[in-house]
Amino acid sequence: MTELTAPNVVAASTRSDRRRQILQNLLRGERPYMLYIAFVILLVVFSLSSPWFLSVDNFLNIGRQTTLVSIIAVGMTFVIIARQIDLSVASTLALSGMAAALAMSQINNSWVVGAVAGLGTGALVGLLNGILTTQLSIPSFLVTLGSLSMARGLAMMVTNTKPVIITNETYFAIFGEGTFLGIPVPIAWTLAAMIVGILLLHYNVFGRRIYAVGGNPTAALYSGINTKRITTAAFVLTGTLAGLAALVLSARSHAARPDVVQGMELDVIAAVILGGCSLFGGRGYILGTLFGSLIIGTLNNGLVLLGVSSPMQLVIKGAIIVAAVAFTKR
């Protein structure tokens, strides 16, 4: 924008303005349309090259496969908008899953106990990440690099690396195998996490503060915002969602294993960045993250259907992620 000589004419906020505002909230990003175009291109390419790709079953498959990444990526969006990073999410998931399964096997085999233990463990790891980052001013990259290792180690220690079997049918139904309004529950949980994320980030006071802290921490401080508390809250949210993902995974496999999803933090971060978040903070939106995650999931799925060898899959996936980020950035 250049010269702004026109006198400020401020229109009353009409309904159409309001709608535009909501759209802006949901689609905010550098070049949001590039992301959706990329997704559509991907769908077209795979549909043309594999007869099995374009089916309801396969899309539900993709949805199920991306569940874990999508759920955690919602939290990661908050963390990255706040100018931080959380590398510990995959380990947190493993530790939370062990905590949930062990708590159930010890106390009444109750699914409530399992859920509370799983979510609580995730929240606690997030809280520690947040406190260390803000109170000791250690870069979150280093803090969470440490907790990545510690959480994974703890998860292996508690059972000496053995998996813990889960037998509670209600638990399976709620988190892994049932349906909710006809939607498989893992996908329902993903949607729930998305909606909560959208409400928190775009409609809640907390979201406003997250954007301000990431956009300019000094200005946020000078505006009376407790930047440390806000940053810590973002980590707690991410940890809790890693806990939720742990419940989904363990309910699907009827057991918690300490060695699951190693390296998944990279997929989560890739999804968030692909979705239009700025690594420099202050910018990003939840719907973008969902599409980022879907693109990664679709790639995984489509490449398998095309019979691409798994080493080659890694190479193609990596190249497409870098290319996509390069295109969606300025």
Partner 1 sequence: MVSGINKRFGGVRALRDVNLEVRAGEVHALLGENGAGKSTLIKILSGVHALDSGTIEIVGRPVEFDSPAKSREAGIAVVYQDLSLVESLSVADNLLLGREPRARFGFVRQRELIAKAEAFLNELGIPLDTRAAVGSLPFAYRQMTEIAKALMGEVRLLILDEPTSSLTSDEVRILFDAIGKATRRGVGVIYVTHRLNEVFEISQRVTVLRDGANAGTFVTAETDMKRLVNAIVGTDRSAPTGPRTEPAAKRELDPSPVLSLSDVSNDRLRAVDLSVLKGEIHGLAGLIGSGRTEILETVFGLRPLDSGAIQIEGRRWLPRGPADAIEQGIALVPEDRHVQGLVLDHSIERNVTLPRIPHFSRWGWMQQRAAARRAETAVARLSVKAPDAFSLVRTLSGGNQQKVVFGKWNDPRPRVLLLDEPTVGVDVGAREEIYAVIRNAVRDGSGVLVVSSDLVELIELCDRISVIVNGRVARTLSRGEIDDAEELHHLLQMYQASGPGHLQELPA
Binding stretches for partner 1 (CB under 8 A) = 1, 4-8, 10-11, 13, 18, 21, 24, 199, 203-209, 211-212, 215-216, 218-226, 282-283
Q: Which residues contact 78 (CB under 8 A, 6 or more apart)?
A: 197, 200, 201, 210, 234, 237, 238
- CA dihedral sign, ordered 219, 223, 224, 230: negative
Of 1 and 326, which has the nearer Cβ to partner 1?
Answer: 1
Within the chain, what is the greatest distance between any pair of CA atoms? 71
E strands, 105-196, are 164-165, 179-180, 183-184
Q: 118, 247 in Cβ contact below 8 A?
A: yes
| Closest approach of partner 1 to the CB of residue 234, in Å | 16
| Closest approach of partner 1 to the CB of residue 219, in Å | 5
Of 24 and 106, which has the nearer Cβ to partner 1?
Answer: 24
| Closest approach of partner 1 to the CB of residue 296, in Å | 27
End-to-end CA distance of the chain: 16
Of 14 and 160, which has the nearer Cβ to partner 1?
Answer: 14
d(CA 10, CA 286): 30
Report helix, strand or coil for 213.
helix
Of 5 and 160, which has the nearer Cβ to partner 1?
Answer: 5
Residue bearing tokens 């309904």:
15
Of 30 and 177, which has the nearer Cβ to partner 1?
Answer: 30
Of 219 and 322, which has the nearer Cβ to partner 1?
Answer: 219
Backbone angles phi, psi at 313, to 5 degrees: -55, -45
Backbone angles phi, psi at 164, to 5 degrees: -115, 125
d(CA 34, CA 291): 11
* Residue 261 tokens, joined: 């999803």
Residue bearing tokens 């890739």:
270
Of 203 and 327, which has the nearer Cβ to partner 1?
Answer: 203
| Closest approach of partner 1 to the CB of residue 237, in Å | 14
Backbone angles phi, psi at 165, to 5 degrees: -80, 140
| Closest approach of partner 1 to the CB of residue 32, in Å | 15
CA 89 to centroid of chain Cα atoms: 9
Of 199 and 266, which has the nearer Cβ to partner 1?
Answer: 199
| Closest approach of partner 1 to the CB of residue 182, in Å | 30
d(CA 133, CA 141): 9
| Closest approach of partner 1 to the CB of residue 12, in Å | 8
| Closest approach of partner 1 to the CB of residue 142, in Å | 18
